[in-house]
Amino acid sequence: MTNFISETYIKNNSPVTYNIDSKDLYSHVDTAEQVHIQSILGSEFYDDLKTKYEAQTLSTDESTLVQYWIKPADLWRSLALALPWIHYNLRNKGFMDNTDDNASHTGFSEFKFMLNETTNRAEFLENQLIKYLCENSSLFSLYTSQDGLTPPNSENRFDSGLGMY
């Protein structure tokens, strides 16, 4: 099934540069959608939107939901999930730092800061998605009337802590 976001969407709408290997980044989109986006939408609404998105049959309201609320949340959650795997590689000798002869490698504290900032942005956008769905639930009958195994999430949550400047 097609994901809501593409590699091009990620690279055009985030600080990710075009020299990042697409496999290192895009492999985390499925996880972000299945774990985070699906838990917000509920399994039935999620499956319905994915099917319509792939077939290009979204209603105007659904298209707005996907374009302005789901895609940004999906992008930043995917990036938050990918960052550790971009920073480190799992090899036969264990976890190794990704280093390049011409690049300056950041330390763990800088990496942790970037991961925290990315996760905070993902959580903020997920909460905005939840708020939008709750305020506009009349537009999405399947969101409020699901019988599936995964009910929609309507709680605000922040798990990674907040950064102070």
Return the minimum-mean-pLDDT range out of 2-16, 82-96, 108-122, 148-162.
Answer: 148-162
Rounded to whole angstroms, the Cα distance separating 52 from 108 reads 42
pLDDT score recorded for residue 95: 46
Position 165 scores a pLDDT of 41
Question: Mean pLDDT throughout 141-159?
Answer: 61
- 98 lies in a domain? yes
In this predicted model, which residue has the larger pLDDT, 105 or 158? 105
In a domain, 164, yes or no: no
Q: Residue 131 is part of which domain span?
A: 20-144
Query: How far is Cα 132 from Cα 7, in angstroms, rounded to an integer?
Result: 25
Does 62 map to a domain?
A: yes
Q: Which of 19, 30, 140 is nearest to 77 (CA)?
A: 30
State the average pLDDT for the chain: 81
Which of 21-35, 88-102, 142-156 is predicted with the least confidence, judged by mean pLDDT? 88-102
Domain annotation covers residue 60: yes
What are the tens digits of pLDDT across the range 90-113? 554 544 455 555 455 567 788 788
Provide the number of structural domains found in the chain.
1
Q: Phi and psi of 98, rounded to 5°?
A: -80, 120
Please indicate, yes or no, if residue 25 is contained in any of the structural domains: yes
Does residue 149 register a pLDDT over 50? no
CA angle 132, 124, 69 (to 5 degrees): 40
| Mean of pLDDT values over 1-8 | 89
Answer whether residue 10 is part of any domain. Answer: no
At 26, is the pLDDT very low, low, confident or very high (cuts 50, 70, 90)?
A: confident
**What mean pLDDT is predicted for residues 73-102?**
70
How much of the chain, in percent, has pLDDT values that exceed 70?
75
Average pLDDT of the residues in 33-41: 93
How high is the pLDDT of residue 152?
Answer: 55
Give the CA-trace dihedral at 106, 109, 113, 118, to 10 degrees.
60
- Of the candidates 32, 27, 139, which has an alpha carbon nearest to the alpha carbon of residue 89? 27
Does residue 118 form part of some domain?
A: yes
pLDDT at 161 over 80: no
Strand partners, 89: 96
Task: List, as one string, the DSSP characters of the chain.
Answer: ---SS-HHHHHHSSS--TTS-HHHHHTTHHHIIIIIIHHHH-HHHHHHHHHHHHHT---HHHHHHIIIIIHHHHHHHHHHHHHHHHHEEEETTEEEE---TTSPPP-HHHHHHHHHHHHHHHHHHHHHHHHHHHHTGGG-HHHHS--SSSPPP------S-----
Question: Is the predicted pLDDT of residue 3 greater than 50, yes or no?
Answer: yes
The strand pairing partners of 97, in sequence order, are 88
Structural domain includes residue 9: no
